[in-house]
Chains A and B, each alone.
Chain A
Amino acid sequence: MSNFSLSSKSEQDIAIMEPKGYINDIGAETLELASEQFLGNGIKKLIVNFSGVQFINTIGLSIFLSMVQKTLEYHSLLCFTNMKKDHREIFEMAGLMKYVKVFKDENDAFSYLNRRS
């Protein structure tokens, strides 16, 4: 059974996604689909809060890769918050960090995004 869940919401023009558990299975594609749906609905500022993420493998990385690709296509902003050191290292190695903004927590990400038009 998949040890992954996702809660998501949008506040004004910002979408917040909170994945929980292991991002190591194609079941976690819901994260990619959710971001695609927000972008499709015109929300171009996305936050992913990693506080509940326990583990990311290459399948998970592939899902984030697609998210990055989509945000680039939509000329939108993707922010990561509450990242652990090992999450950060994986994303750095995969070259993803160049395309996302990383913040300590959601508040910081909000402040940054609210300043952006």
Chain B
Amino acid sequence: MSVRNLHLKRLMFSIGSLIDLGQEATSSKDLSAKMKAALYVITGTLSVPTAALFVYHPVRKDLDLIIGKGTRDRNLQKIRLNAKTQHIKQFTMNDPHMLRDMADTAFFRHNQEAFAKLKAKVFLPLFAKEEFVGAITLGRKLGGIPYRQGEKDVLRIIAHQMAITLHNAHLFLELAKKAEENRRLYKNMQRIYHDTIQAFAAAIDAKDGYTKDHSYRVASYAVAIAKELGWKKKDVEGIYIAGLLHDIGKIIVDTSVIKKGQKLTAVEVNEIRKHPQVSYDILSKVKFPWKDIDFFVRHHHERIDGKGYPDALQETELSEGVKILTLVDAFDAMTTDRPYRDKLGLDETFEEVMKCCGTQFDVRITKTFFNLLLRELSGEVKRPQILPHLEHPDAGYFAETQSDSDM
């Protein structure tokens, strides 16, 4: 090959290298693979068997080795180059520095040992938009041939390209880190929000020892039905919250009325009947991320025959959520001890509910609920959602009746 031809070939080859580098920089590979490929482009272009790529850590003020090539020492991955701000100021941006010319600098003295391990001859600082982002060290060229001026020019262009790629990757990682942090904060806030609502529910139930955990059970039963009916996750969450807060209006009812063991007077009944309206008044002012919470709680004492309160709505006016809450609220009242009576067994509860099915309770919702309970009793359901809340469920008759009636 003539000298002229060789020059031309080299030029073509360098241009080809820059194209290779551009392709790698814009590829969809992860940063590490991208950087490795880019480093290989450099070593292949310049015939340098040993090279290393470092990423700058601005807090620690050092350069972490992320890719090493051509050295057999496994400990190389632990190499860090010290790069203080005053050192960085002495670097010429994206310009290859021959290490022998840096021998008098503090930067070289600090890192002399590492450079020896890396067999480094050239230090190439990477700057993107005047920000120091990393560096490349290059060893001796194959055969010990000196670096030519033309090769240094190619290195400058490559350094600029790699610096931008590193910088962009940093920005992306920062963004991903921030997004992750936001997600964590959101999760935390969501947990705090749920905990606060649970605390409210506990406070409501604490007015009366008999109704301890009532709201929690109502919420859990409601979720079980909603899931059976195929509700969306967000709506299931909503009915859970409504279940927890449905009795919040009871804070205005005198404790003596709630705890009264005898029949309530007309005035007392009137007072206790105000609680759905009060629950609504309180919750309608809260901007929940779930829909209809305020209406669910307002109507949880409505009936499908239109004889409920506070609005005496007709069946067609009652949402599925309301019908669920109405049933599970009554179910829990029946299956737990109350000041005025002992809890009912499952058989009695079933009979009671069936008596009111089609007048007080919606048929489809009732059927869904008892079918699920039946499956839980027979052990078909891996994670029961109703049974764990019932103490000593005596279900002999209930189970038989359920099978017979094919609900």
Contacts and interface: CB of A to CB of B under 8 A. Distances in A.
Interface of A: 24-26, 57-63, 65-66, 68-69, 73, 89-90, 92-96, 98-99
B9 interface: yes
B137 to A, nearest CB: 15
Interface string B38-49: 001101110111
B3 to A, nearest CB: 13
Contacts of A60: 44
Interface residues on B, range: 20 to 34
27 contacts: A25-B37, A26-B37, A26-B40, A57-B16, A57-B44, A58-B20, A58-B40, A59-B20, A59-B40, A59-B41, A60-B44, A62-B40, A62-B69, A63-B44, A65-B44, A65-B48, A68-B49, A69-B49, A69-B50, A69-B70, A69-B142, A93-B9, A93-B13, A94-B47, A95-B47, A95-B141, A98-B143
A94 B41 CA distance: 12
Contacts of A99: 142
A93 B41 contact: no
Interface string B12-52: 01001100100010000000010011001101110111100
Q: Which 5 A-B pairs have the closest CB atoms?
A: A62-B44, A58-B44, A61-B44, A62-B40, A69-B49
Nearest to B141: A95
B145 interface: yes
B10 interface: yes
Contacts of A57: 16, 20, 41, 44
Given A26-B36, A59-B40, A96-B47, A65 B142 contact: yes
B59 interface: no
Given A58-B16, A58-B17, A66-B69, A94 B44 contact: yes
